[in-house]
Chains A and B, each alone.
Chain A
């Protein structure tokens, strides 16, 4: 269990799934590399669980193929796919002890008793649940239950671990604790992990790559940095980041200048993916921390403060430029009160421009 003998890549090729007339996944392609930690992030009902169940073999695909570890497993049983899975509701067998919960799958597979015992003991030690082994699930706290569920996945020694929102039933502190635990486990095992969540903090902290999903499709697939700094469209820009990105509506004028009724902004430092046409309407997206205070600067844009939220380490100022709302993250010591006018500057490189369809420019 310490060496990682089987790390599998996962590959989905044109996978389609429909529940009756409702199509949930639409010709979906996804490549997950060996030992990668991939997070599926998206709002409720976007098909994350469906996708995960398809990889696990718990939901049949209508068309397309699923490959795990270089094998086409599209029509194989879950147990033959070399996967382990952890569920949101823990899904522990209520009438079995923790030990039995963890050994059940191994016993089903016909493994010899001493080997089963060894694996269970080892996994329990890793997850620090050794003293819980003889309890029933009903005698455990939520965090302990999820540890056991992870332990049950761990003993399977699978090449791919699938997590379906494993932390969303836990309170904030436990959630953070188990999050780091899972990250540590990934480093230790080197197994491929696919982790479903609608919590962007989990996604950003855990992932090697994030797949942001909405409406049956993957909207963007990239590193957390990519997804955060260069969102592929307005949906991803809004969904990732807290507080959310602010948007100013305007248009492009001669000489790559962004213009609204109240401000003009030189975009010469912006990395356009395609040359913009003059006069096209665009939305300018700005993250709260990419705004800087620039007192005395002639080009500074004046913003009126409406509300101040101290966050401990820093503070958030909810401001308006004309009618447009803009959230600004400032250091905690900044003397600012509602009604103040702040002189603001944006770092052009870190801006995000979206066309009328919401696609990144």
Chain B
């Protein structure tokens, strides 16, 4: 008598995967993508057209003679208010605001989150609660008092002022992000390090931060996009010499002498959006990896 055996290789047709619910899902994804991509498409093609073609009024058509003129104009010649140097100055201003703000706000947030979850100073819970409450108050409320304080202290309309503002306004989110991460680590790890004689900063830098790299990546993404896209704080606190790109963009778009140069406006807008866009493209994989790394222990 022969015993029946399971065959070693799968055979027969691959089972069908395209169930109605799948079709629905794909349809939904397609529509969503179209919804977000259509404006982008329009902006892109418009920025590549000369004004003569734009005047024809067909916004969906591909450019007959693609040109980068509008882009170079937007970058270096478009008028923002009185000066006509394009938005390149704004770009560099934004970078100068962005880099220190991101670094400082993440360092401060990580440190406070770490201190709160492991050292638990007296009143830490209260402080944390206060931080969370403040995070929910619309920040416009703070603007006028802060302007007064800053001019008293002498950092109104300065790079230092705007960096400080971004650090302070980023603090609740950054602290929460890092605190939650550190709170998920076993307290015994911290105790072991204390027995080993490590102090506040050594535990933070040598033991806790290496374990927080995925969270730090998430923090960088949040802060870079948030600070780059900021308009009102930059307008109020940065001062005329340091106006960020978003403010410059607004000036470009609103400075109209005669005909509205749609192609230049579109190009300037796309240029401004480039940094967050790059962050998402470059870090998307990291972002997912960071979240996945947080999900599996060790």
Contacts and interface: CB of A to CB of B under 8 A. Distances in A.
Contacts of A77: 194, 197
A252 to B, nearest CB: 50
Nearest to A108: B197
B194 A58 contact: yes
Contact of B186 (A89, A109, A137): A89
A53 to B, nearest CB: 7
Contact of B195 (A85, A88, A89, A137): A85
A127 B49 CA distance: 75
Interface residues of A, number: 28
Given A87-B188, A93-B207, A104 B196 contact: yes
Given A91-B186, A95-B210, A95-B211, A108 B196 contact: yes
B195 A79 contact: yes
Contacts of B202: 108
B15 interface: no
A105 B196 contact: yes
A193 interface: no
A79 B194 contact: yes
B110 to A, nearest CB: 16
A56 interface: yes
Contacts of B197: 77-79, 105, 108-109
Query: In the complex, which of the residues A53, A88, A108, A149 has the most CB atoms of chain B within 10 Å of its own CB atom?
Result: A108
A152 B193 CA distance: 11
A164 B188 CA distance: 10
Contacts of A137: 298
B233 interface: no
Given A94-B211, A108-B202, A138-B298, A87 B194 contact: no
A94 B191 contact: no
B77 to A, nearest CB: 51
Contact of B194 (A78, A149, A156): A78
B196 A88 contact: no
A83 interface: yes
A281 B211 CA distance: 61
Nearest to B197: A79
Contacts of A58: 191, 194-195
Interface string A252-264: 0000000000000
29 contacts: A53-B191, A56-B191, A56-B195, A57-B194, A58-B191, A58-B194, A58-B195, A78-B195, A79-B197, A83-B195, A85-B192, A87-B188, A89-B188, A89-B189, A91-B186, A91-B192, A92-B192, A94-B211, A95-B211, A104-B193, A104-B196, A105-B195, A105-B196, A105-B197, A108-B196, A138-B298, A149-B192, A152-B192, A164-B188
Given A85-B192, A87-B191, A105-B195, 13 more contacts: A53-B191, A57-B194, A79-B196, A85-B195, A88-B188, A91-B188, A91-B192, A93-B192, A94-B211, A95-B210, A104-B206, A105-B196, A108-B196
Interface of A: 53, 56-58, 77-79, 83-85, 87-89, 91-95, 104-105, 108-109, 137-138, 149, 152, 156, 164
Interface of B: 186, 188-189, 191-198, 202, 206-207, 210-211, 298
